Chain A
Amino acid sequence: MRRIISMLMENEPGALSRVVGLFSQRGYNIETLNVAPTDDPTLSRLTLTTAGDDKQIEQITKHLNKLVDVVKLVDLTEGAHIERDLMLIKVRAQGALRDEVKRTTDIFRGQIVDVGPNVYTIQLAGTSDKLDSFVAAMADVDILEVVRSGVAGISRGEKVLSL
């Protein structure tokens, strides 16, 4: 099953490589990875998605918690949560397809953030599924480049991941 694991870790050199190294060392898989500093500059928030059975996920979270740089961790998929993946996608948009791309973008509530005579760059945020669907909907369009941020997530309601 797909899981979204999110953690606060020390904003120290080497911390990220320890997290990533753990996955390769133990034969686990990272599907997406997103990391950036928080409002507290000494802490980074790292969110990753991975897949595995319950036993594997339990081991993964235990190992992550054991890393000295990891301060606190939550498996967002255990409760109600919001997840967002951000995609920037550059497509060839010429002739009739220009309107078609625009319409599909509107349907998905995306934005065209850069326009050229032959290309559009579209920004789209949402769940990974939604982004996948958008890419699928662009089947007839020449996709030039896709950039995704990886999933960032947060729990719904009062629940927070903080110190």
Chain B
Amino acid sequence: MELLSGGEMIARVLEDEGVEYIFGYPGGAVLHIYDALFKDCKVPHVLVRHEQAATHAADGYARATGKPGVVLVTSGPGATNAITGIATAYMDSIPMVVLSGQVQSHLIGEDAFQETDMIGISRPIVKHSFMVKRAEDIPVMMKKAFYIAASGRPGPVVIDIPKDVTRPDEKFEYRYPRTVKMRSYAPAQRGHTGQVKKAAKLLLSAKRPVIYAGGGVVQGEGSELLTSLARELNYPVTNTLMGLGCYPATDRQFLGMLGMHGFYEANMAMHHSDVILAVGARFDDRVTNTVGKFCPGAKIIHIDVDPTSISKTVPADIPIVGPVQSVLEEMGVQLAALREKEPDLPDRGALERWWKQIDEWRATHGLWTGRRYSESKKIMPQQVIESLYRVTDGNAYVTSDVGQHQMFAAQYYRFDQPRRWINSGGLGTMGFGLPAAMGVKLAFPDSDVACVTGEGSIQMNIQELSTCTQYSTPVKIINLRNNYLGMVKQWQDMQYEGRYAMSTYEDSLPDFVKLVEAYGHVGMQVTKLADLDAKMEEAFAMKDKLVFLDVIIDPMEHVYPMHIAPNGSMKDMWLSKNERT
């Protein structure tokens, strides 16, 4: 049997696990590991410019591929810099394995140089964590980490590695297990048949049904099953911010996103529904508005692999714990069996009336049935996303940062496939977009990858332009430039009488075109609507270039619809600056 040092084992496990990229940054505590990577490891390492970006890049990679992203950082500041990215992945249930260096075992607890209690600091934002005590444990521990990160409800797993266990002069027998079993960890494999049967019955009895599907459908690879189930029944579907793409947006049955900035027809349909089939969604406060007023007439079926998500905020009438795939499969079988016995279900007349109502909602205030944004001489942010959609034929991977631009992208880019829309929904992390786009582009070098951002967010990880130069990741950055922290400004307009407390930069913004040129990329500014499509096409035509499109947009535009809060229900929305439901 082969003898390897702890550091060498880590390098070898990454190979044996089939890892495609390691995103990381070196430092004292991980030098043995880096030396092992340098000497003998087939897995390429991507050197970012800040550890936060390593986690976001690994996260973007994971969201686009479904495989765990891998991060390697040093102890102390390296580890703490990774925290925001770990929390981002945790909130959106993204599989990730983070290897963090630690000071030597005998120094732990002594406030040694670059010591920080990574296990303690990361505890509330990881699915699980391990501290390596002995080099011999590395293979099994890492196998467990990959298994835990990717199974059940996925999430980040941290492995903290004291420097001495990676020392090159102590070698151990290496054997990588193909599988691991843990007596204390057994994610649900399938739903309860009785519950699925009950749910199928309720679903068929519906007169005003809505399917409400979230990120769990994307993560659980349930899109196809969900789509065929919805089509079979001719039921309307809405997606959460995290679920976009799990049902084809261009399909007639799609109502658009729901929630705080959700579509009028989606929020109205939810509020007036009698049966809601929630799949891989978690009734987040950005969806429900006031919980006590949430969908008063609806019976709720809730499918989720994580039991703690069920009845957490909104009580479920029929809870089903299980992976979306197996539950939806079984649901399909049950529905077919029931309909064979009772071919009149669901009530077609009722469904027809329901669709008529939905189509009316759509026609009056739907974002895709007419121009809903204000007229202006300036470029409207929505037009930029529409242009992006046209130029990329709706096929791009779109990452985003956080703010108005994120909501415009979610509303106006119609995602027909899962894993194409990549954004920080749960934590809302500004600075996510560019590093995430890098991770996606590395995974899919032949696909168009766009990062929709704002001049606020992009500056939170703009140093990654340098990483993009080093690894030739020609993503397209679409900067919706309003010269404000736009989403903050929107709230200040609506709730603080336009007092823009610290949401402007005065004249301090850089010349972004020059800035990206300094990194060796291409920058273009767009100021006129007439030039927008041409510049967008030019940007995407430069296949090998990172292009930064600095689009000067109308700074006064708000994102609508917007839930009225506090005390509003799903159906209470602002539809424009002076129009409300």
Interface, chain A (partner B; CB < 8 A)? 9-10, 13-14, 17-18, 21, 25, 55, 58-59, 62-63, 65-66, 68-71, 163
Q: Which of A14, A17, A25, A69 contacts B184 (CB 8 A)?
A: A69
Given the interface pairs A9-B184, A14-B131, A163-B183, the reply to whether A66 lies near B307 with Cβ below 8 Å is: yes
For A17, the chain B residues whose CB sits under 8 A away are 120, 123
Cross-chain contact A58 with B311 (CB below 8 angstroms): yes
For A66, the chain B residues whose CB sits under 8 A away are 306-308
Minimum CB–CB distance from B93 to chain A (whole Å) comes to 12
Cross-chain contact B183 with A14 (CB below 8 angstroms): no
Complex Cα distance A66/B307, Å?
8
For B306, the chain A residues whose CB sits under 8 A away are 66
Complex Cα distance A58/B321, Å?
14
For B307, the chain A residues whose CB sits under 8 A away are 62, 65-66
Q: Which of B120, B127, B308, B311 contacts A63 (CB 8 A)?
A: B308
14 A–B pairs (Cβ distance < 8 Å), ordered by A: A9-B184, A10-B184, A14-B119, A14-B129, A14-B131, A21-B123, A21-B124, A58-B311, A59-B308, A63-B308, A65-B307, A68-B184, A68-B185, A69-B184
Cross-chain contact B127 with A68 (CB below 8 angstroms): yes
Q: Answer whether residue B200 sits at the interface, using C-beta atoms and an 8 A cutoff.
A: no
Interface, chain B (partner A; CB < 8 A)? 119-120, 123-124, 127-129, 131, 148, 182-185, 306-308, 311-312, 315
Minimum CB–CB distance from A56 to chain B (whole Å) comes to 11
Beyond A21-B123, A55-B311, A63-B308, 8 additional pairs, beta carbon < 8 A: A13-B131, A58-B311, A59-B308, A66-B306, A66-B308, A69-B184, A71-B183, A163-B183
For A59, the chain B residues whose CB sits under 8 A away are 308, 312
Complex Cα distance A25/B456, Å?
30
For B315, the chain A residues whose CB sits under 8 A away are 55
Give 6 nearest A-B pairs by CB, closest first.
Answer: A71-B184, A68-B128, A62-B308, A62-B307, A25-B124, A68-B185
Minimum CB–CB distance from A15 to chain B (whole Å) comes to 9
For B128, the chain A residues whose CB sits under 8 A away are 68
> Which of A63, A68, A70, A163 counts the most chain B CB atoms within 10 A?
A68
Minimum CB–CB distance from B474 to chain A (whole Å) comes to 40
Minimum CB–CB distance from B322 to chain A (whole Å) comes to 15
Complex Cα distance A109/B514, Å?
85
For A163, the chain B residues whose CB sits under 8 A away are 183
- Name B128's closest neighbour in chain A (CB-CB): A68
For B308, the chain A residues whose CB sits under 8 A away are 59, 62-63, 66
Complex Cα distance A66/B187, Å?
9
Cross-chain contact A70 with B120 (CB below 8 angstroms): no
Minimum CB–CB distance from B142 to chain A (whole Å) comes to 15
Complex Cα distance A62/B120, Å?
22
Complex Cα distance A14/B306, Å?
23
Given the interface pairs A13-B131, A62-B308, the reply to whether A68 lies near B123 with Cβ below 8 Å is: no
For B127, the chain A residues whose CB sits under 8 A away are 68
Complex Cα distance A66/B148, Å?
12
Complex Cα distance A65/B148, Å?
15
Minimum CB–CB distance from A109 to chain B (whole Å) comes to 39
Complex Cα distance A70/B307, Å?
15
Given the interface pairs A21-B123, A21-B124, A62-B308, the reply to whether A68 lies near B131 with Cβ below 8 Å is: no
Given the interface pairs A13-B131, A68-B148, the reply to whether A18 lies near B123 with Cβ below 8 Å is: yes
For A62, the chain B residues whose CB sits under 8 A away are 307-308
Complex Cα distance A25/B512, Å?
41
Cross-chain contact B311 with A70 (CB below 8 angstroms): no
Complex Cα distance A95/B55, Å?
70
Complex Cα distance A59/B124, Å?
16
Minimum CB–CB distance from B302 to chain A (whole Å) comes to 13
Minimum CB–CB distance from B481 to chain A (whole Å) comes to 38
Complex Cα distance A55/B319, Å?
14
